[in-house]
């Protein structure tokens, strides 16, 4: 059974008609659908990552500024400063990846 026959059989099983006449057209249609879905995925996930990264950056800024004020106060019982390198790297990585995916999605719409 060739690829064309298999594609027709699989399309007929789902009660759909096959629009492509040959395997090359079927692969071209699948590639076009993949590009369309990738663009949609980039335009959805990119801004979500940007917003999450910005929220984490604000959270870490507030946490670090409160910790630094507590450490700087001479009458404070808090004498150590806790920081999270992994959390800061996650926030920065989310910002970078979110901006990359958003730009990739915007470029694909043109």
Q: Which two tokens stand for residue 20?
A: 């492509």
- Please give the DSSP secondary-structure letter assigned to residue 15: T
Domain that holds residue 14: 3-109
CA 5 to chain centre: 37
Select from 32, 34, 44, 31 the least CA-distant residue to 105: 44
- Please report, in tens digits, the pLDDT of each residue of the chain (110 residues total): 577 777 667 666 766 665 666 777 878 888 888 888 999 999 999 999 999 999 999 999 998 888 888 777 777 666 666 778 888 899 999 999 999 999 999 998 88
Is 53:94 a contact under the CB 8 Å cutoff?
Answer: yes
Please, how many CA atoms are within 13 Å of residue 11, restricted to the half-sphere of its CB? Answer: 14
Beta strands in 18-64 (DSSP E): none
Domain count, the chain: 1
């Amino acid at each position: 059974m060739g690829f064309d026959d298999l594609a027709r059989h699989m399309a007929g099983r789902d009660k759909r008609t096959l629009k492509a006449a040959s395997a090359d057209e079927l692969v071209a249609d699948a590639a076009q659908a993949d590009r369309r879905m990738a663009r949609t995925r980039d335009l959805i996930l990119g801004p979500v990552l940007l917003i999450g990264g910005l929220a984490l950056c604000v959270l870490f800024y507030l946490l670090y500024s409160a910790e630094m004020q507590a450490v700087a106060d001479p009458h404070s019982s808090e004498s150590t400063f806790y920081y999270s390198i992994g959390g800061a790297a996650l926030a920065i990585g989310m910002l970078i990846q979110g901006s990359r995916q958003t730009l990739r999605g915007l470029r694909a719409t043109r």
